[in-house]
Amino acid sequence: MTAQNQTPVTAESLQSEITRHLKLSLGKDPKHASLYDWRMSLSLALRDQVVEPWFASTRQTYEGKHKRVYYLSMEFLIGRLIEDVTINLDVEGVAVEAMSALGQDYYTVVANEPDAALGNGGLGRLAACFMDSLATLAIPAYGYGIRYEHGLFEQHFENGQQTETAEGWLAQRHVWEFERPEVAYNIHFGGYVSDEGGKAHWHPAETVLASAYDTPVVGWKGKWANTLRLWAAKPVKLFDLDSFNRGDYVGANAPERLARTISRVLYPDDTTQDGKELRLKQEYFFTSASIKDLLRRFLSEGNKIEDLPNHVAIQLNDTHPAIAGPELVRLLIDKHDLSEEAAIDTARQCLAYTNHTLLPEALESWPEDLFARILPRHHRIIQMIQERHLQQTGSHVRIIEHGNVKMGELAFVMAHHVNGVSALHSELVKETVFSDLHAAYPDRILNQTNGITPRRWLYSCNPALRGLINDTIGTAWHTDLEQLQDLNAHLDDASFQQAFRAAKATNKDRMAKWLKDRNGITLDTSAMFDIQIKRIHEYKRQHMNILETIALWNEIRDNPTANWTPRVKIFGGKAAPGYALAKSIIHLINDVAATINNDPVTKDLLQVVYPENYNVSMAEILIPASDLSEQISTAGKEASGTGNMKLSLNGSPTIGTLDGANVEIREHVGAENFFLFGLTAQEADAKRGEHGYSRRAIESSPVLSRVLGQIAAGVFSAGDRYRYSDILHNLYEHDYFLLSCDFDEYFAKQREVDAVYQDVPRWTRMAAANTAGMGWFSSDRTIRGYAKDIWGTASVI
């Protein structure tokens, strides 16, 4: 392989490459270089190191005629890339030295890089972790997505309320990508379909160009690199000269504006679907370009179209690219003359679909008239797919029903396998949304429990713990995370325990310094850092956490001299801009923080902080510093969770429900190292059948009643009794997410956490047992599962 042929990078060679790029790529001399110039030069010098392995991997895949994986995803939440590359190439030390020789601090330069936030949350970050594992495992793969001009919005708090501004990562040069102007496809929309000589012809009304931008994704030790290919929308006609000549200067730019809208902005809705025309266009835009691109590659290798499934595995990351099925069928029939039956069979053998949520508001469906207007040919093809499905299985499940095109049903019918993302979730997929389709296709659904890349989520973000693990059990865990279980032999060893606590203290200090620099807030680093970081959603129950915080505040004030365990409650996360109740929850957290943080009675015992604009880079600072991980979703609602894995891996025990991957985390780290509470998914369902359950639960809980009474009295809203009536009304009258029913047990479990935290050896043992037990949750394990059970691919080196 490749990386071996490359001369090893030294601090001197890197330094001279950085200087060369500063001069020749940035046009600056060191005396006048800004932080931006240094970052660009460093990035370019590092990017150069990736090119050889990247070429070699591509060449080897081509020569070996290896099957390729195509991961289609609306979201890739990749974050910063400098650190990713230096870690994977094992040149961080060298980079630090080179920058220092140039009078620059490497870490300051790294922190200057904007996050590539091309995703909302877990689903997008999972795609990024999968790309890392695919490269590390040397599985030939392409990620296909959209090159959004604006990633996820920036969150600000004004008087405690979330406001949003557009994110602008591409306002600066993005040096990691290579523009591929020669790789472009016409993507069509609208128009009508005619029948000519027994063949359908689509006469589209509108066309935009999908233009490729490639970012190499290098794996561990630079042994393999794959490609993340993102599509930007451009006008087919650059400029309308006729309009310009008529003096219509605005009109002259219309083609460009129209086209660019498609890849302009990431939809900021996590687990809700909007049903907007632009979103459907985005989905078809990137999916069609990707399918055309993979077909071109396949045919350029001299293959016969019938052979497609032996060379191509397409994974649909949720239903967002589900139009891939009809698009592939369309091309096979209309352009490659396959029969309808052969086209559907061939496409199905290539396609697999991952379901990421059961929440009804997230299940995509499009009004049939809108769908038929934008994609008339696909509308017909879906009708045809539906007919064959109904005939062949005798099933009554339709893809188009009550005037809606249902993308989940479409993806299911067109996939050879459908997977859920945790053991519990996959069972629920079988029992609930897809129970009828499961009966019709009983071998189709399987499970692949999510994972996280240990390169970013331990090795890179937690150097203190990384060092301790290396010193304790060696370095085999770098490529085989399950080796972490060797730590189990050291859990009761006093010197190991002390070193483990020292690593945590280092991370807490780092976070405290970060917060001080950012917001001027001082944290008590001897207090327990209790962290809930994720999108704000009722099912994730951040409001249960803040109500518990108020309850604790009450108890401390009632009895200030008792033996309390000091806590810092830390929140991070964004609400979808249109999700009013989630925004109220944010407001409440900030209001409660303002009240509690100014209370002289409790100030040394309880603090609430909510840094704005949570993103991947913030996660990399918060996660290693966490003592307690809040995973408190209503059972049955969080498909998997991946933040739960990151926190536990970094030595932060979970307080949580039996939901999503929590169930498997608890099995792996041991029930004694997990603070379990709450209704099970089954109990939750039964509870919803009991009329008036929430009011009854509130009335029988003095602790919760008191808290809700304080909110209603305006204690946290300067006397405003109505500020939180939406939350209160919801809890009393409805409470679908069963906060009221789980609250007392949650509060009691938190007091148990307090007690255990004071038993320092016991707590340290628990925290370290979490790290030791989490090896299975490497995304390398997940990707091996997909490769074996779904894709029929393997490592090629």
Minimum distance from residue 561 beta carbon to ligand B1H (Å): 42
Give 28-35's long-range contacts (Cβ < 8 A, gap of 24+): 30/102, 30/103, 35/108, 35/109, 35/112
Region 340-359 residues binding ligand B1H, contact defined as CB under 6 A: 356-357
Region 378-437 residues binding ligand B1H, contact defined as CB under 6 A: 421
Minimum distance from residue 217 beta carbon to ligand B1H (Å): 19
Judged by beta carbon, residue 67 or residue 356, the one nearer ligand B1H is 356
The residue from 123, 217, 228, 606 that contacts ligand B1H (CB under 6 A) is 123
Locate 791 and state its tokens: 């894709």
Q: Binding segment for ligand B1H among 12-20, 115-123, 225-233, 591-599 (CB under 6 A)?
A: 115-123
Minimum distance from residue 639 beta carbon to ligand B1H (Å): 4
CB 395 within 8 A of CB 437: yes
Q: Does 270 bind ligand B1H (CB under 6 A)?
A: yes
Minimum distance from residue 469 beta carbon to ligand B1H (Å): 25
Q: Binding segment for ligand B1H among 161-169, 214-222, 268-276, 649-657 (CB under 6 A)?
A: 268-276
Side chain identity, residue 427: E
User: Using the 8-state DSSP alphabet, how is residue 576 labeled?
Assistant: -
CB 513 within 8 A of CB 474: no
Minimum distance from residue 640 beta carbon to ligand B1H (Å): 4
C-alpha separations of 278 from 59, 259, 263, 358, 366 in Å: 38, 11, 10, 24, 12
Q: Which residue's CB comes closest to ligand B1H?
A: 122
The residue from 160, 325, 451, 660 that contacts ligand B1H (CB under 6 A) is 660
Side chain identity, residue 541: R
The residue from 54, 213, 224, 267 that contacts ligand B1H (CB under 6 A) is 267
> How many residues lie near ligand B1H (CB under 6 A)?
22
DSSP string for residues in 587-601: HHHHHHHHHHHT-TT
Closest C-alpha among 320, 317, 301, 298 to residue 309: 298
Provide the 3-class DSSP secondary structure of residue 376.
helix
Q: Does 730 bind ligand B1H (CB under 6 A)?
A: no
The 3-state DSSP composition of the chain as helix, strand, coil percent (nearest 5) reads 55, 15, 30
C-alpha separations of 614 from 281, 459, 707 in Å: 29, 21, 27
Give the Cα-Cα-Cα angle 701, 705, 709 (nearest 5 degrees). 175
Judged by beta carbon, residue 127 or residue 727, the one nearer ligand B1H is 127
Judged by beta carbon, residue 119 or residue 219, the one nearer ligand B1H is 119
Q: Does 697 bind ligand B1H (CB under 6 A)?
A: no
Ranges assigned E (strand) in 404-527? 404-406, 417-420, 445-447
Minimum distance from residue 124 beta carbon to ligand B1H (Å): 7
Closest C-alpha among 43, 60, 69 to residue 3: 60
Give 516-525's long-range contacts (Cβ < 8 A, gap of 24+): 518/611, 519/611, 521/609, 523/568, 523/607, 523/609, 524/566, 524/568, 524/604, 524/607
Enumerate the active-site residues. 356, 534-535, 540, 642, 646
The residue from 73, 290, 346, 450 that contacts ligand B1H (CB under 6 A) is 450
The residue from 211, 215, 226, 273 that contacts ligand B1H (CB under 6 A) is 273
Listed in sequence order, the residues at least 6 apart from 139 whose beta carbon sits closer than 8 Å to its beta carbon are 69, 226, 783, 787, 793, 794, 795, 796
Region 622-651 residues binding ligand B1H, contact defined as CB under 6 A: 638-642
User: What binding mask, one character per residue, do residues 548-577 give for ligand B1H by CB under 6 A, x or -?
Assistant: ------------------------------
Minimum distance from residue 210 beta carbon to ligand B1H (Å): 20
Minimum distance from residue 271 beta carbon to ligand B1H (Å): 4
The residue from 84, 149, 269, 735 that contacts ligand B1H (CB under 6 A) is 269
Residue 259 to residue 236: CA distance in whole angstroms: 8
Give the Cα-Cα-Cα angle 156, 160, 161 (nearest 5 degrees). 60
DSSP string for residues in 153-182: PEEEEETTEEEEE---GGGS--TT-EEEEE
Locate 645 and state its tokens: 């894995």
Minimum distance from residue 445 beta carbon to ligand B1H (Å): 15
The residue from 120, 162, 472, 750 that contacts ligand B1H (CB under 6 A) is 120
Closest C-alpha among 35, 30, 49 to residue 95: 49
Q: Does 43 bind ligand B1H (CB under 6 A)?
A: no
The residue from 26, 77, 128, 362 that contacts ligand B1H (CB under 6 A) is 362
Judged by beta carbon, residue 255 or residue 660, the one nearer ligand B1H is 660
The residue from 43, 226, 271, 460 that contacts ligand B1H (CB under 6 A) is 271
Minimum distance from residue 431 beta carbon to ligand B1H (Å): 17
Q: Under the rule (CB under 6 A), what is the footprint of ligand B1H?
A: 120-123, 126, 267, 269-271, 273, 318, 356-357, 362, 421, 450, 638-642, 660
